[in-house]
C-alpha cells in the first residue's frame, strides 16, 4: 500500500516537472544571448589550466606517495604499541616476582616454625 502511494507521488511529481519545463522552454528560447564578460572568461581559463595540470600529474606517482605515507604511519604506530606492550609485560613480571617472593618467604617461615615445634 505504501509503495503504491509513493509511486503515485513520484509519477505526479515527474509529470508536474515535465509540464513546468515544457512551458518554460519556449520562453527561455526567446531570451537574448548574453556575451561572456572578460572576467568570467579569465576565471574559466584559470580553472581549465588547473584542471590540465591535475590531469598531467601521474596518478600512480600520487598513489605511491600516499601509500608510502600510510605505511610509514602504520609502522610508527606498530612500534609505539610494541613499546607499550613491552613496558606492560615488564611491570607485570616485576609484580608477579614480588608476589612470588612473598609467597616463598612466608612458606619458608611456616616450615621453619613447624620444624622448631
Q: Which residue in this structure is represented by grid cell 600510510?
A: 70
- Any domain includes 111: no
Which cell numbers in the block locate residue 92?
607485570
pTM across the whole model: 0.37
Instruction: Report the chain's mean pLDDT, rounded to a whole number.
Output: 84
Using alpha carbons, select from 63, 60, 44 the residue that is nearest to residue 52.
Answer: 44
pLDDT tens by residue, 24-49:
998 888 888 776 566 677 778 888 88
Tens-place pLDDT, residues 91-116: 888 877 776 677 777 777 787 777 76
As separate numbers, helices (DSSP H) first and strands (DSSP E) second, the chain gives 3, 0
Does some domain include residue 82? no
On whether residue 48 sits in a domain, the answer given is no
Is 17 within the bounds of a domain? yes
In a domain, 24, yes or no: yes
Rg of the chain, C-alpha, whole Å: 39
Is there a domain that residue 78 lies in? no
Domain count, the chain: 1
- In a domain? residue 89: no
**Parent domain of 3:** 1-32
Q: Is the model's pLDDT at 63 over the cut of 80?
A: yes
Amino acid at each position: 500500500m505504501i509503495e503504491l502511494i509513493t509511486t503515485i507521488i513520484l509519477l505526479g511529481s515527474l509529470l508536474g516537472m515535465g509540464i513546468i519545463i515544457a512551458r518554460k522552454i519556449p520562453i527561455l528560447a526567446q531570451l537574448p544571448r548574453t556575451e561572456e564578460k572578460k572576467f568570467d572568461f579569465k576565471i574559466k581559463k584559470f580553472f581549465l589550466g588547473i584542471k590540465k595540470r591535475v590531469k598531467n600529474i601521474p596518478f600512480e606517482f600520487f598513489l605511491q606517495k600516499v601509500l608510502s605515507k600510510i605505511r610509514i604511519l602504520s609502522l610508527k604506530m606498530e612500534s609505539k604499541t610494541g613499546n607499550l606492550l613491552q613496558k606492560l609485560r615488564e611491570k607485570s613480571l616485576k609484580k608477579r616476582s614480588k608476589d612470588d617472593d612473598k609467597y616463598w618467604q612466608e612458606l619458608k617461615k611456616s616450615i621453619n616454625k613447624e620444624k622448631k615445634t
